[in-house]
Amino acid sequence: ETLLASPWEHRVLWQREQLQRVYYNTTEAGEEFFERLNRLGMHQRDVREVFYLCLALGFKGRFIHPGDEFLLEQLKASNLKLLVGGPMGIPSLEKAELFPGACPLSTPEVIQQPRRFRFSLLALAAIIGPVAVFSLLYFIYWVFLNSISEKILRAGA
């Protein structure tokens, strides 16, 4: 919707391949949005919040025409009232703590304990393992080839 209303030079291409047509096989998403919003029950707060966020971010749908701004604002206000308000109207958000769990005001000091190992045991095994296998094979071949070469030298002497 934002792209179609913008002066972008490729908006005609976007209009031919709209996401609503590609994914949902419809061109009436602007109407269906508001129909689904009207069918929401009071218990579907999370879904209503997503719809409200779409409206707050600028989705207009069927209210795209000049003069529809008032109706759209009324719809936004009524949904916000259902989400956070009550019969008294929308509460003032000036002194409200909007997201209390998102960022605590005071964080306890974290005491970092010194790490005992710089590498994890898996990384250490990945480094030392091949070196140990190579060393073992070297020693076995050295002993084996030494004994064979001594036998050959004795047989030739």
What are 89-105's pLDDT values in tens digits? 555 666 666 666 666 66
CA distance 91 to 72: 20
What confidence score (pLDDT) does residue 132 get?
A: 96
What confidence score (pLDDT) does residue 91 get?
A: 57
Q: In the chain, where do the E strands start and end?
A: none
- Look-up: residue for tokens 């994914």? 23
* Residues facing residue 89 across a β-bridge: 86
Residue spans of the chain under pLDDT 50: none
What are 6-19's pLDDT values in tens digits? 788 887 887 777 77
Q: Could you give the C-alpha distances from 21 to 63, 68, 93, in angstroms and in order?
A: 20, 25, 39
What confidence score (pLDDT) does residue 43 get?
A: 84
What confidence score (pLDDT) does residue 98 get?
A: 61
